[in-house]
Structure 1
Amino acid sequence: MSFILSDRLTCAAAVALAMIALPPAALAQSGYDPASAANMSLRITTLEDQIRQLNGQVEQLTFQLRQMQDMMRRMSEDTEYRFQEMGHGGVPANAPSVAGQPHVMQYPQQPSGQPQMLGQGLGQAPTGAPVQGAGQPLDLSQALGQPGTLGLGQPGQQGQILGAPPQPLGAQLVAAPTDSPKDAYDLSYGYILRGEFDLAEASFRDFLTRFPGDELAGNAQYWLGESLYARGNYRDAADAFLKGFNNYPDSAKAPDSLYKLGMSLKELGQTDAACSTFAELPRRYPRAPQAVQERARSEMQKSGC
């Protein structure tokens, strides 16, 4: 509706301007009236102001539409994961189970007293990760600096320990209705859907501290990265996505974590490392959702990989 009205106003302004541009002889023959011309000029000015206002409204609506599309994509991805969970009886597809025992996913753990740093173990395939073909393993050490750190700043800043507590929040977190991992996850994901990314970060960090071996931990690690990425905190987002890729290789969100790791590196200006990450996605996860693979290919083309 806004586009149609804008087009009509533009046409009206063009007609009025054409009338003013007529030569004096033509104006005299047509009964030119200075008062009418002044009135027409005022109307044109008013129409131009209205057009500018409409353009501003169109830009605002376009921005809101993009936000809604992004939110719908997130909801679709999470719904897809939940259907996968239902199809496997609540157990991830690649997770082994022992009869008579509750299933708890096991993930690589760091030796006691040695916190995991960004880039650590990146040159090796994560435990249980499907390595495909003869392609070289993902190695970002040359592009990012010294092994074990991002290499994007001074020591102690960019080599930040993963899982650091978030900054104090302006709003207070709400407690989950029960102590179950699912309720805690749903509460955290609700913050994502409402765009409350600072609360989402704190809530997902709390989830990962309390339920590191839960089947939803891989998803939680991914959304932790998204909560940071959405606020432009690309360095910490890269930390979170890398940890999701390394520690939860069998998670439904592992391909997404690898893709968003590449996006974070691209935002940090590490184009070569981002290209290596995008190229690794189809090799590690050839059965990743088609949408994720297409986005990775698109970003490779945009980046000139």
Structure 2
Amino acid sequence: MTKQKLFLFSFVIFFCIFIPKKIFADSHNYEEIIKIIQQDLKTLEKAVYSNSQNEILNESITELDQSSEEVLTRHLLKLSEIEKQFQELTNRFEEINFKLDKLSNRLSKVQSDNQMRFQQLETLSVSENNNKKISSSSDKKKILPGSSEPQDLGAISYKDTETDNQEQEIQSIDTTGSVVTETFVSEEKILPDTNPDKQYDFATSFLKNGDYNMAERAFREFVNTNPDHKLAGNAQYWYAETFRIRQLFTDAASAYLEGYQKYPKSEKAPINLLKLGVSLVQIGEKDQGCLMITGVKQQYPEANQSVLQKAKYEEKKFECSKDKS
């Protein structure tokens, strides 16, 4: 605005200086010239005003453009953040679906395992009923050994065993053989026919995949097949862990106890004793469990520091020191 006013002022001065003196001498022409100058000044003011308005509009447009660009950048940043959050949510959703699939697979395996066990129990009950029918249909005149009502082994007399009839003995042997055969078929081997180290790795692979039922069978088979191997104590510990993870604390306590008795010098012996104490507390045997927990440091003073610190934590958690006092 200041530049335009200066331009207008200079134009007026220039016009006044360079007007011929003869024009001012004539009074009639003087009024006309003044009118012309006023009209020119009005036209110049309009032009200057229009230019100033255009500049103001241009400045406002540039300001609006800058503000709109800032708003757009903010919205773009927010959209990028929302996209990242959406990606994280989708990843979490996929992880949850994967875990649900694993849980459903485990449940299906547990159901199939229970169904097999129920079928075995049904076959055993059927075989026992057949044994009872065979024993009842035998000769009623003379009671053969093993066909009478249940009684203590010490109550069977020597005379009861004196008989020439071998029919009942053959039948009892046949039925016992059928029961043993069914039990043997149910305990199917799953470990590969290779060295113990590879068998141990094969068993641990079930743990890594979260298949604790198969891990239980694999580690139990490893301990039964290789009871004197250097990894037998570790296998016994992981066998007990399969029960603890499934919250079968009674079975876990018995498995930990077996590992503590059979493999007291194993690599997993300190943590095995600690887990035994915790399992005993969880099944209601707090006194015995606290004795096991506090005995970790006494029996294994050179154990790993993480195990000793865990034992101190469990001792405070279950208030074992208060029970002693």
Classify the TM-score, shorter chain: 0.3 to 0.5
TM-score in terms of structure 2 length:
0.41
TM-score in terms of structure 1 length:
0.43
Task: Give the helix-richer structure, 1 or 2.
Answer: 2
* Bigger radius of gyration among the two: 2
Q: Which has the higher contact order (CA 8 A, sep 6+)?
A: 1
